[in-house]
Amino acid sequence: MDPDPEAALPRAEEAIHRFPALFRAYWLAAMRAKLGLADEHAGDAALIESLLEWMHRVGADYTNTFRNLADPSMIEEPATVNPAFEDPAFRSWHQRWKKRLHQQSEGFEEAVLRMRAASPAVIPRNHRVEEALAAAVGFGDLGPAQRLLDVLADPYDTRHDNSDYRQPPSADQSVYQTFCGT
């Protein structure tokens, strides 16, 4: 920033103070893409935050929820995509989301493409990584690792939309949480 510590300190403080607004702007842009929103509207942050609150309340999987929203049948009948979408709070949110989508000039097909580009179908979930590592280390079997790598080579591919690799761990699978929360 500056070789003189006295001059560097105010510049560093200024950069630090700008960070929250910059982070919020980039976060909103990323979340708008995950919801298929092509432009900015004043109520977008509230729409996004209410979905995240619903997801937290019902324990919905983050990755799968956003990928499910990119299913073309979501616009009309969300429960056919995921039974959790029958929840009245989600239904209310869904109506607000549909209304917001209709406020932009492009159609739902374009929104689906934007959502799919912003929301992977598969991620390297801990239980799948552990499964691959256990097979490789314990039995010299690299098959699970290779299958995982093959799927992760193109995590946005629509062929993965019904993949077993989308599934969160079951209750009987030993899972720990990492810094990234997978």
List per-residue pLDDT tens for the chain, 182 residues long. Answer: 889 988 899 999 999 999 999 999 999 999 999 999 999 999 999 999 999 999 999 999 999 999 999 998 888 888 888 999 999 999 999 999 999 999 999 999 999 999 999 999 999 999 999 999 999 999 999 999 999 999 999 999 999 888 899 999 888 876 666 666 55
pLDDT, residue 47, reads: 98
One DSSP character per residue, 54-96 reads HHHHHT--HHHHHHHHTSGGGGT-GGGT-GGGGSHHHHHHHHH
Using DSSP, state whether 174 is helix, strand or coil. Answer: coil
pLDDT, residue 172, reads: 82
Distance, CA of 118 to CA of 139 (rounded, Å): 37
pLDDT, residue 18, reads: 94
pLDDT, residue 75, reads: 83
pLDDT, residue 31, reads: 98
64 and 18 housed in the same domain = yes
84 and 25 housed in the same domain = yes
Among 118, 142, 171, residue at a domain's last position = 118
142 and 81 housed in the same domain = no
How many helices (DSSP H) and strands (DSSP E) are in the chain? 7, 0
pLDDT, residue 176, reads: 65
pLDDT, residue 178, reads: 62
102 and 26 housed in the same domain = yes
For the chain, report the end-to-end CA distance as a whole number of angstroms: 36
159 and 71 housed in the same domain = no
Contact predicate 166/125, CB 8 Å? no
pLDDT, residue 117, reads: 97
72 and 156 housed in the same domain = no
62 and 16 housed in the same domain = yes
- Going by C-alpha positions, the residue among 130, 117, 111, 124 that lies closest to residue 156 is 117
Domain assignment of residue 172, given as a range: 123-182
Among 65, 92, 118, residue at a domain's last position = 118
30 and 84 housed in the same domain = yes
130 and 104 housed in the same domain = no
Please count the structural domains in the chain. Answer: 2
114 and 182 housed in the same domain = no
pLDDT, residue 180, reads: 62
157-182 CB burial, b ≥16 within 10 A, e <16? eeebeeeebbebeeeeeeeeeeeeeb
Distance, CA of 60 to CA of 72 (rounded, Å): 20
